[in-house]
Chain A
Amino acid sequence: GQQVMQIPQYQHVQEGEDFTTYCNSSTTLSNIQWYKQRPGGHPVFLIQLVKSGEVKKQKRLTFQFGEAKKNSSLHITATQTTDVGTYFCAGFTNAGKSTFGDGTTLTVKP
């Protein structure tokens, strides 16, 4: 079945450093979504990417969808302590089936 892999599993950064998490699917996706889950919280929807090669920005966050629609990345510029949490990607197939990656847990040292 469909597999969605995320790397790295954990990332520890100093406040102000950049952070990137990568998401790779075993199959071509119709779209991909990104979520953030704060410690002890629930996943919160951040964004959806649909088009091949699409790039979207939300303040310090930059999301990319690969040309082949099998991979995606989330980049945070100049991390802040408020960025801590686990970032999940969720890949969707044309059949509407979604698979969440295992997430990348980000910790930020002030």
Chain B
Amino acid sequence: ETGVTQSPTHLIKTRGQQVTLRCSSQSGHNTVSWYQQALGQGPQFIFQYYREEENGRGNFPPRFSGLQFPNYSSELNVNALELDDSALYLCASSSGVGSGNTIYFGEGSWLTVV
């Protein structure tokens, strides 16, 4: 157990809808990152939040957005869902940025877009 919890575990949405995924970071961790893992591929970095601010972003369109709350939990929001958004979404937490601190991953949220 890494202490990183995600919800929901699985969900199905219709193309064009919006979805919110949630993540509780490990105790004491102030940094949360989100990754998208399509079937049969490695995870891809979406963005990172540090102390409630987005401080880094991967190659994902603006319809992928997020929030980090004062307790360092986080949300990933995806608007105007497309079929290609079907994937496992992984949340990861760590303490600080730019250092060698270990990143801990949650078990992910499976999103299916139909």
Q: Do A and B bind each other?
A: no
A residues in contact (CB < 8 Å) with B: none
